[in-house]
Structure 1
Amino acid sequence: MAKSTVSALLDTLGPNDFVNIYRYSDTVSELHQCYTKILAQAVPETIRELKTAVWGSEVTGGAANLTGALTTAFEILHRYNRTGQGCQCNQAIAVVGAGGGTAGVKTVFRTWNWPHMPVRIFTYRVGGDAASGHDMKDMACTNKGFHVTINDHSEVRHKVLHLVEVLARPMVMYQTLHPVHWSPVYVGGRSSSLDDDGMGQLMTSVTVPIFDRRNHTQREANLLGVVGTDVPVDQIKKLVPPYKLGVNGYSFMVDNNGHVLYHPDLRPLHTNEEYTETLRPLYSSVDITDVELLVDSDENSRVNLTSLLLDLRHDMIEQREGETEMGVKVAYEGMRRVGTRRQRYFYGPVEGTPYSLAAVLPDGYGMYELQAEQEIKHSPINVTEYFKGDNWKIHPDWVYCEYASTSDQTFSSPEEQLLHFLSRSGRPGWKWMSLRPRALTLHNAHKKQDRDSYYCDKTLVQSLVRDAMVIKELDAHIGHASHHTHPIATLMALLTRQGRFHKFVVTLSFIATRSGLLKWTENVNTSRTADSSEPHFSEKYARAFDSEWYRRAVEHHSIEPESFVFSVPFRDGSEPEDFSGKPTLVLATHAVFVESRGHRAPAAVVGLHFQLDSLARHFLNVTSTCTAGSVCKKTCAGDELDCYILDDNGFIILSEDVSQTGRFFGQVDGTIMDSLVQDRIYKKVTVHDHQGRCPDSRSPFSGASNKLTPMKPLAWLGSYFTNLLTIWYPLLETIHARAHPHAQEELDYEDYETEDMEHEEDVDRDRGTYEIIIDGLGGSEKHEPPLSPGPPREPPREAARSAAVRPCDTSAELFTLQSTRLNAAQPLKGKLTNCHNSGCERPFSVQKIPHSNLILLVVDTLCPCGAKRLDVRAREAGGGRSACRRHPRALPRRRPRACVSYHPEEIEIQSCGRGGRTEPTIFVFSVIVLRILLKFAT
């Protein structure tokens, strides 16, 4: 039960708190060896480490040296105060145990804490006799703390939270400060998107405390509760429209701890062959340095961060305005591909919140945008004529036009919603309403004109209509591209005519524009059957603007403007053989730029799907014949040569063995791949993933998984209660039962903080004596409390299922083509030597394929060189991801701006604890948990 109490105390902490746990008997020592004479920031990783140490600790004998433990705790608190570390606010020492060893504690208090009592003492008695309980209560009452007796597991969670009520007293007594608290990000309710796939969405909770202002005969300071709301992060992201940032541009937000609220590389959900779709354990505390990967940083980038990124982080947590420029690595396709580019960062504070917002634009093309709109309001024709048919989609996450959330208007798709507003735009009295409507109040919610208020992004809608108009004209005059000067019209006409791709069996051609429009044309001879299990191209790529083929095409344009980017589905060789007869499709894309006054901006990406076997036939025809007038002894059709077409990341587009298509070439012949790297044809780029997950059947927490439920926001509110010194414990369950009607989410959550045991006998009842000494930072956020009021129990020692995981750092060695090394006219030749006992040589040649991201690689097969195997799949980085590895380079943070830790009249409050019946204790397990609650009200 003592372990459960310590675990419950840890659950009350968050990123604004600092904590340590000390074990004491006749000696005093840290419970976790990595936290020696320090206080660790209570991020989920730290809480996980400490909980593991608590549940794995063993019962020790010897006399309880409480005075030594208290002295150690006060020394650390004093050192942190003197040096300005921590958050310089509330401080607390929590003692958990059966009592005993209290002789001499008053001397310690006189030395370190009296008369001003800057450190509060909280005591939690589990077992012991009445005399020891009296001594523990006296410790709490003489140090502005609180004492409780815990007799049953069902009482642990409730009684632990008395700590919050006491810490909130100064703030309640002043009555003037109502701090607003923003929780860390969490996955909550269903998305409101019309294209909702049923998955949870990222949320944050905003809460403020409610005080008791009544006058009482006896002095009290009661915290009545909190009021708050859950805010979908998508609603915040809408305020920074993606189309204004352009392709490969993005925004992100960082809080005072350097943790991202959202970022394109924040990946809370993980899906692969080994794991079901589950939440990553540490997604709520991902630092900005974990997701911005610099190209010029040391490979051990987690330790040796460059000054540019650290300066950006420092300015953002301090909420300063500024801009900077950095080169970054950009991973695609689940860290199988990589690119590099320079980016411009523009950042500033979000007033009234702990956040800073950054807008990131690619250097060069990202600094310009195409401004082309079609006026709608006074258009002589009905603009809905440009959106006929069912072969078009718009970006489902972008806000073109929308009604207020209280409107009775409903739509089945984003396209239906768009057509509705386009029809309205042609009627008399239409107004754009480009300012978002204010939130409704009780006074105006009944008015229909207020309920039906709407918002329209005039620039985005008119840009969309302009793009649709150009494509419509193209459809009408497809055979006369020369009559049109618009680059999109010209290029699409060329694509669909018998030109560059006439030898291939094209199944679908498409265009995706900067306004979020996707339009496609299918080849009637190759259209899919009605019973096809594969999703249609438009279903897979409704968010075409965000797709990797769109982003890669635009990025590749700066390398070779006239080229197409080719790609095929990835394979690693472990897939079962496909007997369905479905042809493999090649995706070819090309970015369309518009130039004005020497500046170029991306307008669209055009492309097509064609069958791989048609490309293979053409490839074999070309490589199996000699050029006119020449005599060649070897061709790709013979056994002497192996011929491959590789893309710019080293993946096989085509080879004589069709089963190799989509595989990384290093898996087929790593020896040649190494030579290509040594000859600087490909460059090796190491990419780190600090959000990785690795299988772990030994983790004591990995098996404790439960369904993600709407009670997760309760954890954040509960954390606010503790961290912001504002708690509303009696009403928690009622509030969240009403606020979150969805009873079951279909996501498994690897909840490493849940103590879920099947047998109560596995718990050491009343056998432990813990002393918890806390010195923490402000605004603690409570992480993932149990979802039911059942007794907390020791986590299982073995994983419950194969999907059990633990946080880890992973890295992958990826490759990118160095096009400047190759000449399309002349091949680059090389050879392998000394790779076989016979002394034979293995020549190879590489040639750039014009107007593409491809190369032709021809390898001599007669010399039997041993082929090594390379792999681009991510693997766990050496050294693991432990607290010992993370702490030495603790990154700076900004303390929340408000702190209320003292009121001169608090001494008049008499309430300081409750007693209870006692039960005998069998063993004495003495642990001192140093928890320094330097609490801030944010």
Structure 2
Amino acid sequence: MARSSSMGLNNGSLALIILAVLLGLLESSLQQDEDIPHNEVKNWALKFGIDLWEFGRHFTNVNEIQRKFQDRDATVVRKDGLILIRELAAEVKNMIDIKINTVMRILESAEQAALSQKSDSGGNAKYLDSRKLTHIPADQKPTSTHEMFFQVNRHFDQCSVNTSFSSVLLPQAMTKDPDEKVLNALKWSEHLDPVFLNNYETDPSLSWQYFGSTLGFLRRYPAMKWPVDGSSQDLHDFRSAAWFVEAATSPKDIVILLDTSSALSSKHRNLARATINVILDTLGPNDFVNIFTFSDVTVELVSCYKEMLVQATDQNKRTLKVALANIKSENTANFTGALATAFEILHKFNRTGQGCQCNQAIMLVSSGSPSAFKEVFKHYNWPHMPVRLFSYLIGKSSNFAEMKQMACSNKGYFELIKNTDRLREKVFNYILVMARPLIMYQTEHPLYWSPVYTGGKTNTLVGDDVKEGKLMVSVSTPVFDKRNYSTRAANLLGVAAVDVPIQQIKKLVPQYKLGPNAYSFVVNNNGRVIYHPDFRPLLDKNKYVEKLKPNYNNVDLSEVEIVDSELYPRDNNSLLLDLRHDMIDQKEGETEIKVKLHYDELRRVTSRRHRYFYHPIEGTPYSLGLALPDGYGLYEVSKEEEIKLSAVNVTDYFKGSNWKVHPDWVYCEYNYADDVNFQSPEEQVLHFLARTRQPGWKWMSLRPRAPQEDSIHSYPKKLERQSYFCDKSLMQSLVFDAMVTEGLEHPSVAYLKGDKQQGYSMFGVTLSFLATRSGLIRWKEHVGAMPGSGLDFAEKYRRAMDDIWFQRAVDHHTIEPDSFVFSVPHNSGPRGEKPLVTASHAVFIENKGHRAPAMVVGLQFQHSALASHFINITSTCTAGIGCKKTCASDDLDCYVLDNNGFIILSEKYEQTGLFFGQADGTIMDSLVQDGIYKRVPMDDYQGVCEDSKVNDSDAAASLKPWQPVFWLFNWFLGHLFWAVTNLQIISTEGFAQEDSDTPVYSDYDQNYDTDLPSPGEGDGYDTMDLEAEMDETISEVTKSFPVDPPASTPDKGPLPPPPPPHTPLRWTCN
């Protein structure tokens, strides 16, 4: 966790503050009062502010826009949050049901194919080995089975695939000489290809489909070469991945007993560590685990996990792995005491309703046992045997029989571990054993929904600004062996799975229905985030898997919803925890919480009161939540243009090329999107607008529905190739906005004629723009603009509603409606740039006493022209008589600051875009003490510290350890103690970024009070490199990660307590 502070203007009526600073700070305060022209400063501020507001208001035609909305009877209506979230959750459930039906068809086909397969027919198995596949042009005839045409497909992470076939991923050792069982399984699983293909044809939004065999091969649709060209990745053992393990077994309480007696040699100790590491890799957040070492006494491996089981989250597993590196061998082994401790803890958790309340097991890792300890088992486990025991004999031992007997007499499994060869496969056998009860009854196939993970190629996010599109969840289910054997058997054939991209869920919760500054989010049954606007899985925003945070898929809701309170970090807030628990318990409800939100890569922060609405997504462990800003967020502008009744061709409202639409919003789209190639979202919108004029047009605003329960096992009706979906409300709102704003990007002709001097020449306007509620953005380049600057602006900010200038303008309107919000690029002065000043203003429509945002209008000024106008004003005496000092004086410095304390204008050009605390920390501190700004602490619970050794770039070099110290020293010179105590945390945040623009100073805010690896990409098949594995584990110690609490249940564990004040988080326990 990293912490920074934030300060804000206590006078909420200003978006800018003009600050005049007298040089020579050693003068008396009386002398300063006499010399600083206070009244003049007020007059300068008033004059400069009025000039900017009046010019901006006329230039952007704010009044004309409001008049047009009113003339066309635009209304403002109240949103019913509960009705809205029920509708949205129902749409998500429908999509989820379609995916569930898909995976169930794979399951049934696999079980039937295995049942029909003859045991000796695998010799003629034909399959496409992903390692051997080669690409050929579409018009070239293949000369071998493994030659085929691959085409890039956006449904499959922009990978080159062939949708006519599936391909098989085999471990390296299996490719040369697969045994008869593998060949038989490969043979019957060939029959899954028609199922995969039909699934994709009936649901063209479908992503990857899988069948993972317990024998070690993975059949994946569509066919794809793996490893991909240019990738160093190799195939890994998917059987330790969560989607496979969690589907194959039910949740588990596991106690691992590690023999650390002197009988365990150094070599065997390393082998025992590796074995336990593999066991831990098979556990997920629905499981509970602890490790106890025993010699003459039995103790917890991690002292703060005393007499308990902890949730098997990545953090807790990492803590256990690191602790394993420090074990030592001594004394003799007391097996009786160790087994008794394990049974007592498991029984306690079972009796008290803690843990998973499902399967329980003991994993015994030892170099040998002198006895089978029947009396211990008779006392604790026999005859009902609620606890299974799995024994792992490390190295060669004469006590082979005793270790095996302990496992077999307690419904477990025994393995002899001589070396790391096939270690993962040997450990994996316990999964097959624990799956037996589920298979024996064969009454149902449980569905498992995974936490969020990353899918696709390792570099698919590089250069892609829709990063959430590559985040996924998967639904998987076990495939049982239903063949008849001479003796009763309970064999698991494998697991069937389907990926669901997060972007598909977000498409069904459209932003335009939520409104500006509102957002949606999804959490699972453990309170972990599936998606959220503040979910930041990447260390470097321009990278992908190589820079994923180690704990990216284990972010709790309480770590992204930061309550605005005076509590210390990690202190529980009852309102937030009630929200979290209700969503975990899949309840419907609403609540109201005041939270802190950050902008601009954690440089700015604001507080806002949110109304939260939440509802379960039935059929999954997920719950959907909505956060609507209190006040304006509960209302929306309701006005559409009925296209079919329009007397004009509505495409006329979209003339020219100076407009764009939100690229992620679904206005209209073909269900088989790959059949039609649009060059841009704008072309797609125009295409469907033209279609609305054609005879027989239907809106088709209902997405394909999931089949009814009585028909889920049959294929749904295939969609027509030209079928489509159109969001009628969004499209007609877009047309209305286009009609209202047509020509309004041009300035008022009457205004320009009347006062041209206060136009371009005075402020240097280069660009005017507007962005509407429907995702439309228009712009106009003006005199002095760089050619193409408008298009560059629109490309950069085409997701306008998600951008800071839009969000700040809407928020600020509730404070002071007659004002613009200003900003300049961060640190643009020190970088020697010629920045543009961006000014934005939210346009609200009022109806029947209610107001709602309709759009944001804005301008970009040349910084130099704006600075000249400022200097002209502040260099004169408004009272008409001589002034002792003006901003032109050598002994007076003048600044224009924004509401977060960043410098908009300064006499020193190089200070542009700096935080004022860097320019003059002493004065900044005085502004806080005088109540002009307020410091607001902001905690980043997702912050991660990277090893500084890997930061070799120039950007990294600029973040020297002393640089935050230097800035903080200048800033808080008068409060040295505060600076020193916070120094470690601020420095930690600095190292967490590679960008030289990282904010290592405090943020400021106005004091407003408005009341993955994808399946098949898990851990490795190959013979383990034991030293590399140990090094990798131990190297984790150099990084800082928050450790999950040893919660009694996966869904209601308290958050970890805060660390000692002013110290960076390290490997700590609760």
TM-score normalised over the length of structure 2: 0.63
- CA 1:98 to 1:53, structure 2 compared with 1: closer, same or farther past 3 Å? same
Match of 2:285 in 1: 15
Residue type matched to 2:506 in 1? K
Between the aligned partners of 2:705 and 2:460, the Cα distance in structure 1 is: 19
Preserved contact between residue 275 and residue 803 of structure 1 (Cα < 8 Å): no
- In 1, Cα distance between equivalents of 2:670 and 2:476: 26
Partner-residue secondary structure (3-state), 1:252: strand
In structure 2, distance between residues paired with 1:496 and 1:141: 94
- Report deviation, 1:310: 0.9
Amino acid at match of 1:659: E
Offset at 1:388? 1.9
Cα 1:804–1:564, aligned 2, differ >3 Å: closer, same or farther?
farther
Aligned partner (choices 757, 765, 774) of residue 506 of structure 1: 765
Matched, 1:469 2:739: yes
Against the structure 1 CA distance between its residues 276 and 137, is the aligned structure 2 distance closer, same or farther, given a 3 Å change threshold?
Answer: closer
Partner of 1:84: 353
Alignment of 1:791 onto 2:1024: yes
Which residue does 2:396 correspond to in 1? 128
CA 275–612 in structure 1, closer or farther in 2 if over 3 Å, else same = farther
Displacement after TM superposition at 1:324 (Å): 0.5
Instruction: Report the identity percentage.
Output: 55
Q: In 2, distance between residues paired with 1:92 and 1:681?
A: 61
Q: Residue 516 of structure 1 corresponds to which residue in structure 2? A: 775
Choose 224-233 or 465-474, whichever is displaced more: 465-474
SS of structure 1 residue aligned to 2:487: coil
Aligned to 1:266: 535
8 Å contact kept, 1:13–1:783:
no
Please state how far the C-alpha of 1:277 moved relative to its aligned partner: 7.1
Q: Which residue of 394, 412, 421 maps to 2:661?
A: 394
Distance, in Å, in 1 between the alignment partners of 2:634 and 2:335 is 64
Match among 574, 597, 605 for residue 848 of structure 2: 597
Structure-2 residue corresponding to 1:64:
333
Candidates 357, 361, 369, aligned match of 2:628: 361
Structure-2 residue corresponding to 1:173:
440
Quote the residue 1:564 is aligned against.
820
Matched, 1:551 2:807: yes
If each structure's helix is expressed as a fraction of its own residues, which one has the higher value?
Answer: 2
Unaligned runs of 5+ in 2: 1-270, 953-991, 994-1013, 1044-1058
Give the aligned partner of residue 904 of structure 1.
none
Question: Where do residues 346-495 of structure 1 align in structure 2 (5 Å cutoff)?
Answer: 346-405=613-672, 408-438=675-705, 450-474=720-744, 478-479=748-749
Instruction: Give me the whole-angstrom Cα distance separating, in 1, the residues matched to 2:778 and 2:366.
Output: 68
- Residue 41 (structure 1) aligned with residue 316 (structure 2): no
Return the offset for 1:47: 1.2
Residue 336 of structure 1: how far off its partner (Å):
0.8
Cα pair 1:693 1:805 within 8 Å, conserved? no
- The change in CA–CA distance for 1:23 and 1:572 in structure 2 (over 3 A counts) is farther
Distance 1:799 1:225 in 2: 30
Offset, 1:409 = 1.6
Kindly provide the CA deviation profile for residues 665-695 of structure 1, in whole angstroms up to 9, marking residues without a partner as x: 1112222111211121111100011100113
SS in 1 for 2:421: helix
Is the 1:691–1:807 contact (alpha carbons within 8 Å) kept by the matching residues of 2? no
- Please say if 1:620 is aligned against 2:871: yes
Matched, 1:210 2:210: no
Q: Distance in 2 between matches of 1:681 and 1:246?
A: 31
Deviations 1:300-344 (A, max 9, x none): 2x1x22111111111111111111001010111111101111110
Distance (whole Å) between structure 2 residues aligned to residue 341 and residue 501 of structure 1: 36
Structure 1 residues 807 and 604: alpha-carbon distance in aligned structure 2, compared to 1, 3 A threshold: farther
Q: TM-score, normalised by structure 1?
A: 0.72
Residue 844 of structure 1 corresponds to: none
The answer to whether the Cα contact below 8 Å between 1:808 and 1:880 also exists between their aligned partners in 2 is no
Q: Is the 8 A contact 1:690 1:808 kept in 2?
A: no
* Letter of the 1:169 counterpart: R
In structure 1, the residue matched to 2:944 is: 693
TM-aligned CA deviation for residue 379 of structure 1: 2.4
CA contact (8 A) 1:401 1:456 kept: yes
- In the alignment, the residues of structure 1 paired with residue 905 and residue 1061 of structure 2 have an alpha-carbon distance, to the nearest angstrom, of 32
Which structure 1 segments of 5+ residues have no match?
482-492, 704-748, 751-780, 811-874, 888-938
Structure 1 residues 473 and 528 mapped into 2: Cα distance closer, same or farther (>3 Å)?
closer
1:25 to partner: Cα distance: 1.7
Amino acid at match of 1:232: P
Partner residue of 2:521?
Answer: 252
Q: Output aligned runs, 1:617-656, within 5 Å.
A: 617-656=868-907
Q: Deviations over 1:410-443 (max 9, x none)?
A: 2222111111111111101111001112479999
* Deviation for aligned residue 1:509: 0.8
Q: Which amino acid aligns with 2:284?
A: G
The answer on 1:296 being equivalent to 2:565 is yes
| Structure-2 separation of matches of 1:94 and 1:804 | 26
Q: 1:272 to 1:544 in 2, by over 3 A?
A: closer
Q: CA deviation at 1:802?
A: 13
Relative contact order: is structure 1 or structure 2 higher (C-alpha 8 Å, sep ≥ 6)? Answer: 1
**SS of equivalent to 1:153:** coil
**Separation of aligned partners in 1, 2:460 and 2:545:** 24
Offset at residue 122 of structure 1 (A): 0.7
Displacement after TM superposition at 1:644 (Å): 1.0
Amino acid paired to 2:495: V
Look up the equivalent residue of 1:117 and give its one-letter code: M
Contact 2:745 2:770 in 1 (8 A): no
2:826 is aligned with what amino acid?
A: F
Once the two structures are superposed, residues 743-766 of structure 1 have per-residue CA deviations (whole angstroms, 9 ceiling, x without a partner) of xxxxxx99xxxxxxxxxxxxxxxx
Report the CA distance between 1:664 and its aligned residue: 0.8
CA distance in 1, matches of 2:812, 2:785: 29
**Secondary structure at the counterpart of residue 416 of structure 1:** helix
- 1:799 and 1:350, CA in 2 relative to 1: closer, same or farther beyond 3 A? closer
**Matched-pair contact (CA < 8 Å) for 1:67–1:104:** no
In the alignment, the residues of structure 2 paired with residue 496 and residue 461 of structure 1 have an alpha-carbon distance, to the nearest angstrom, of 39
* 1:667 corresponds to which of 918, 932, 935: 918
Secondary structure of the residue aligned to 1:8 is helix
Distance across 2 between alignment mates of 1:79 and 1:162: 27
Query: Which amino acid counterpart does residue 642 of structure 1 have in structure 2?
Result: D
The residue number in structure 2 matching 1:112 is: 380
Q: Is the 8 A contact 1:652 1:665 kept in 2?
A: yes
Deviation string 1:897-928 (CA, Å, 9 cap, x unpaired) is xxxxxxxxxxxxxxxxxxxxxxxxxxxxxxxx
Residues 1:475 and 1:184: Cα distance change in structure 2 (over 3 Å):
closer
Does the Cα contact within 8 Å between 1:510 and 1:520 map onto a contact in 2?
yes
Q: d(CA) in 1 for partners of 2:1016 and 2:936?
A: 36
321-330 or 200-209, which deviates more: 200-209
Return closer, same or farther for 1:802/1:877 CA change in 2, 3 Å cut-off. farther
Distance in 2 separating the partners of 1:495 and 1:330: 43
RMSD: 3.5
State the shift of 1:287 in Å. 0.6
Letter in 2 for 1:552: R
Counterpart position of 1:757? none
1:25 aligns with 2:320: no
Matched pairs, number: 720
Give 1:606's aligned residue: 857
Contact kept in structure 2, 1:4 and 1:794, CA below 8 Å? no
Partner of 1:835: none
Question: Which residue number in structure 1 is paired with residue 1047 of structure 2?
Answer: none
The corresponding residue for 2:120 is none
**Aligned partners of 1:93 and 1:120 also within 8 Å:** yes
SS of the residue corresponding to residue 286 of structure 2 reads coil
Q: CA separation of 1:646/1:696 partners in 2, compared to 1, >3 Å: closer, same or farther?
A: same
* Superposed displacement of residue 698, structure 1: 9.5
Query: Contact 2:417/2:423 (CA < 8 Å) preserved in 1?
Result: yes
* Structure 1 pair 7–192 and aligned structure 2 pair: CA distance change class (3 A): closer
CA distance in 1 between partners of 2:716 and 2:543 (Å): 49
Q: Letter of the aligned partner of 1:159 in structure 2?
A: K
Letter of the aligned partner of 2:383 in structure 1? P
For 2:322, the aligned partner's letter is: T
